[in-house]
Chain A
Amino acid sequence: MSGVKLESIVKAYGALQVVHGIDLEVEEKEFVVLVGPSGCGKSTTLRMVAGLEEISGGELTIDGRVMNRVAPKDRDVAMVFQNYALYPHLDVANNIAFGLKIRKNSKEEIAASVDEVAGILGLTDYLERKPSDLSGGQRQRVAMGRAIVRRPKVFLFDEPLSNLDAKLRTQMRAEIKRLHKRLGVTSIYVTHDQVEAMTLADRIVVMNDGRIEQIGTPMELFLNPVNAFVAGFLGAPPMNMIEATIGEGDTSPVANFAGGQLALSKLSELQNSVGRKVTVGIRPEYAQIVTEATLGSVACDLDLVETLGSEALLHTTVGDEPFVIRTETLDKMDTLESVTGFTAQPDLIKVFDAKTGLALSGQTREA
């Protein structure tokens, strides 16, 4: 079973601890994405799995074997680097074959493996080219070729798409997904791009400040974030956050805030929290625009409309706080400029404790 297990993994540079006891179990053939803001420790964690950083504490096992003191070459993992790290003096074929040559595989075996990998990645016509003669996407494929040719137990990806332009990134994202389906190798992927995380992962690990905030499937994390950080990190544009106080409404609890009032779900946790300071989270796509004040709507001042084609982003302010609404444009373009407020379905509003940032219990929603 070629899974990866991290138990209380710690990384410290002298007195400075940057990864604080991470526990994570990556199942065999699973695609796990570590995501988080810059400096959250996700790359460091990946590099510890690779063996490029020493593990300061805890235990790392790959395929059931403790790897803390095992050299990178003996861990049977392959890594795709952010800057590709292709050897500029070698052509594509030799870049892919480098690891096999070092391991002294036979010439016939190397040639067959390189041909196979080049076929999978569409590099057959470029085998004799140097990296400098390739486009960004082709270089990225060579970097992946170099990783898959060794048939390692685990693939590690360190922000492999961040040097590509937006279009190519989307294309390569799909290729990585396809490749994972085809090869079924356990993969750990690091990115700060939540779209990559959402689209690629079987499970996402959201990290912040050297700790894991939440682990779950993309939809679990999207619908049921455990705290305001995860809620704000996943989703583009990010979830709107409004500081509010829970009050007693006519039929259900309400959130009172500077710009108005919103009805919340009839959850006992909320009903029992009247007067509690909370942060109310509303995803931009879950806010419904209104052009006239209606019962339960919240007034907002329209600041700017960004048209994306099928959708538009409405930048508004509620009270003094910025609030973004994502809405479809079809048959609505004329009304966008006259938006005066929004409504939100109570069960789609997330409520977090203002102090701890933790989601109030009972708000779980099925994907």
Chain B
Amino acid sequence: MANLNLYSAGDKRFVIVNMILIAIFTVSTMYPFIYIGSLSFSSGFAARAGQVILTPIETTFEAYKYILSQRMFWVSYGNTFIYTIFGTLCSLLFLIPGAYALSRPQLFGRRFFNLMVAFTMWFNAGLIPFFLNMRDLGLLDSYIGIIIGFAVNGFNLILLRNFFEGVPSSFEEAARMDGANDFQVLWKVYVPLAKPAIATVALFCLVSRWNGFFWAMVLLRDEDKIPLQVYLRHTIATLSNDDEFSATLIDAPYSVETVSAAIIVCSIIPVIIIYPFIQKYFEKGILMGGVKE
């Protein structure tokens, strides 16, 4: 049987060019991961000498041994978990009812509120006013400040709102005829229907909380409250000037570079573990939130 040739030469060229572009993109995305991983398992001497390119040189676990022995590493790691878990829960607690309310045509002043939410995506008060605001609210240097201060994000709110708007109104009407009140309509009908969108928003919150660095650095003074990302910066910035640490480097098999790389590896492991579980929702959610059915 003759092979069917469904693709023209132009189609084939298009596919080949695409494959090459995707390959380049994949390599350029993967390389930093590979490099950081290899660096963290290399000796301090090889790292300083710039010998690490793709695979670990003079493989060693000493950088990990060093950071795992640091109290501040565990404290900041724990803090990151606190900020991420409670921050995400807090975000969902505000975002879900907020988005649902904004999606309801009967909401008084709906257009105004929606405009105000969108406004925050284009403009914000800026660093100093926000800092002063947090200070005046007594939220500086506190867990609550970081958790509540960044709970609601305009983009996430609009993403969820769009999803709720796309749900046919007959679901709500059917639930109301069945005797459901507003809260029951939201909880028993809309939330289960919006699982993909909620998972997407939850992932956005998780990742931004986990990687949250700047505001934590600005708002937190107490070392025992800083998250891992701030600790990482602290390590890079201070260890190189720390005489005590430099003294240990003379005969230590690790360096500032390998220690930093090891912290980075530790910080991305939880995200890598979680992502496959919510990836399916993530992909669906992006589509659902953006496109009204």
Given known contacts A87-B189, A88-B193, A81 and B174 CB-to-CB distance under 8 angstroms: yes
Chain B contact residues, CB within 8 Å of chain A: 168, 170-171, 173-180, 184, 188-189, 192-193, 195
The answer, among B170, B188, B192, for a CB contact under 8 Å with A85, is: B170
CB neighbours of B178 from chain A (8 A): 73, 98-99, 102, 146, 150
| C-alpha gap A81/B171 in the complex (Å) | 9
Please encode chain A, from 266 to 284, with 1 for each CB lying within 8 Å of some chain B CB and 0 for all others: 0000000000000000000
Please indicate the chain B residues that have their CB under 8 angstroms from the CB of A51 in the complex. Answer: 176-177
Q: How far is the CB of A51 from chain B (nearest CB, A)?
A: 8
Candidates B171, B176, B188; contact of A52 at CB < 8 Å? B176
> Interface SS of chain A: helix, strand, loop or mixed?
loop
B171 touches A102 (CB 8 A): no
Q: What string of 1s and 0s marks CB contacts (under 8 Å) between A122-164 and chain B?
A: 0000000000000000000000001000100000000000000
| Residue of B whose beta carbon sits closest to that of A80 | B174
Judge if A79 is at the interface, Cβ distance under 8 Å. yes
Q: Residues of A with Cβ closer than 8 Å to B?
A: 50-52, 71-73, 77-79, 81-83, 85, 87-90, 98-99, 102-103, 146, 150
In the complex, 18 of the A-B residue pairs with CB atoms within 8 angstroms, ordered by the A residue number, are A50-B177, A51-B177, A52-B173, A72-B177, A73-B179, A77-B177, A82-B170, A85-B168, A85-B173, A87-B189, A89-B193, A90-B192, A98-B175, A98-B178, A99-B179, A102-B175, A102-B178, A150-B178
Residue from A50, A87, A103 in contact with B179 in the complex, judged by beta carbons closer than 8 Å: A103
Given contacts A89-B192, A102-B184, contact A83 B179 (CB under 8 A): no
Q: How far is the CA of A103 from the CA of B189 in the complex (A)?
A: 15
Docked-complex contact B176 and A87, CB < 8 angstroms: no
B172 CB to nearest A CB, Å: 9
> B174, B176, B180, B195 — which one has the most chain A CB atoms within 10 A of its CB?
B174
A residues near B175, Cβ cutoff 8 Å: 98, 102
Give the CA-CA distance A90 to B180 in the complex, in Å: 16
**Complex Cα gap A90–B195 (Å):** 13
A26 to B148, CA, bound (A): 56
Would B177 and A87 count as touching, CB distance under 8 A?
no
Chain A, Cβ-Cβ closest to B189: A87
**B120 CB, nearest partner CB in chain A, Å:** 32
CA distance A73 to B174 in the complex (A): 10
Find the B residue at minimum CB distance from A89.
B192
* B-side contacts of A52, CB under 8 Å: 173, 176-177
- Contact, CB under 8 Å: B180 / A85: no
A102 in contact with B174 (CB, 8 Å): no
Asked if B179 and A79 make an inter-chain contact with CB atoms under 8 angstroms apart, the answer reads no
Task: Report the minimal beta-carbon distance from B281 to chain A, rounded to whole angstroms.
Answer: 14
- Residues in B neighbouring A150, C-beta threshold 8 A: 178
Smallest Cβ distance from B170 to chain A, in angstroms?
A: 4
CA distance A73 to B4 in the complex (A): 61
Q: Decide: B176 and A72 in contact? CB cutoff 8 A.
A: yes
Partner of B192, one of A79, A81, A87, A99: A87
Chain A residues whose C-beta falls within 8 Å of the C-beta of B179 in the assembled complex: 73, 99, 102-103
State how many angstroms separate the Cβ of A244 from the closest Cβ of chain B. Answer: 47
| Cα–Cα, bound, A88→B167 (Å) | 11
A72 to B177, CA, bound (A): 5
Chain A's nearest CB lies how many Å from the CB of B192? 4
A147 (CB) vs chain B CBs: closest residue: B177
Bound CA span A99–B188, Å: 11
Question: Quick one: which of B173, B180, B189 contacts A81, CB cutoff 8 A?
Answer: B173
Beyond known contacts A52-B173, A85-B171, A87-B189: 18 more, CB 8 A cutoff = A51-B177, A52-B177, A73-B176, A73-B177, A77-B177, A81-B170, A82-B170, A83-B168, A83-B170, A87-B193, A90-B192, A98-B175, A98-B178, A99-B177, A99-B178, A99-B179, A102-B184, A146-B174
Q: How far is the CA of A180 from the CA of B168 in the complex (A)?
A: 28
In this complex, the member of A77, A87, A88, A150 whose beta carbon has the largest number of chain B beta carbons within 10 angstroms is A87
Q: How far is it, in angstroms, between the C-alpha of A146 and the C-alpha of B179 when the chains are bound?
A: 12
Q: Given B171, B173, B184, B195, which contacts A87 in the complex, CB threshold below 8 Å?
A: B171
> Which of chain A's residues has its CB closest to B191's CB?
A89
Q: Which residues of A contact B173 (CB under 8 A)?
A: 50, 52, 72, 79, 81, 85
